Amino acid sequence: DSGSLEGTHWVLLTLNGRSPLAGTTITAEFLEDQISGYSGCNSYFGPYVDAGALQFEEMGLTAMACLEPEGVMVQEATYIEALRGVDRYRLAGDRLEMMGESSEVVLVYERQEVPEADPADLVGTEWSLVTLDDSPLDEGMTITISFEENRYRGFAGCRHFEGDYHANGGEIRFTSTAMLEDECPGAGNEYYIREGQFTDSLTWARHWAIVGGQLEIQTVRGGVLLFA
């Protein structure tokens, strides 16, 4: 290898020579002796050993099932299997290649830059959601979020929410979310779907930056929450 993996973040370019399915994102990040990431449907995590050879031991995986896009679960299983078969790697600039025992390149990644940001800039701010994964909110719906130090709260169009977050530079994790009302009287199914999409996106959040007066939160799934 040519450099340490620790502290690096990556997005998968090819799996066994093929690009990931359209609309899917697969990521990997290395912290100390742990790898974690998003494998197209689930989050995965586990220890790794980088000592002459690269080994991924026991991989843990969350237990969601994804129906779309077609083939995403097979792709995820193929990816985890490929990781388990990795023997060594080559790191050159913004490209990471992982090889199996036969020296064949099975996984190719591109470096993911973490935005430069100061978490103190979030404290005391309040934002209104403009778009969620490029789609604007339904007319008449408002979703807001405000930040204190390590706590956030907001309004999801009818119900209020609050929880804990942790930001370190341009990285962010929303570690808990609680809805403050049990239900929203008179709300249609569309409201609950949109609210669920928003709170789900928060749980997948990984990076943030304030750009041109707007707050951008990027999710591990490749989505973006854009706030004004």
How many Å apart are CA 108 and CA 32, to the nearest integer? 21
Tens of pLDDT, residues 166-209: 999 999 999 999 999 999 998 889 899 999 999 999 999 999 99
What pLDDT band is residue 102 in, cutting at 50, 70 and 90?
Answer: confident
Cβ(166)–Cβ(152) under 8 Å?
A: no
How many Å apart are CA 39 and CA 194, to the nearest integer? 24
Q: What per-residue confidence (pLDDT) applies to 222? A: 86
Q: What per-residue confidence (pLDDT) applies to 1? A: 44
How many Å apart are CA 191 and CA 227, to the nearest integer? 19
Q: What per-residue confidence (pLDDT) applies to 220? A: 87
Q: What per-residue confidence (pLDDT) applies to 178? A: 96
Cβ(122)–Cβ(216) under 8 Å?
A: no
Kindly tell me if the per-residue pLDDT of 2 is higher than 60: no
- Reduce the DSSP state of residue 84 to 3 states and report it: helix
Q: What per-residue confidence (pLDDT) applies to 103? A: 87
Tens of pLDDT, residues 105-130: 999 999 998 889 999 999 999 999 99
Q: Are strands 95-100 and 126-132 parallel, antiparallel or unpaired?
A: unpaired
- Reduce the DSSP state of residue 14 to 3 states and report it: strand
Q: What per-residue confidence (pLDDT) applies to 120? A: 97
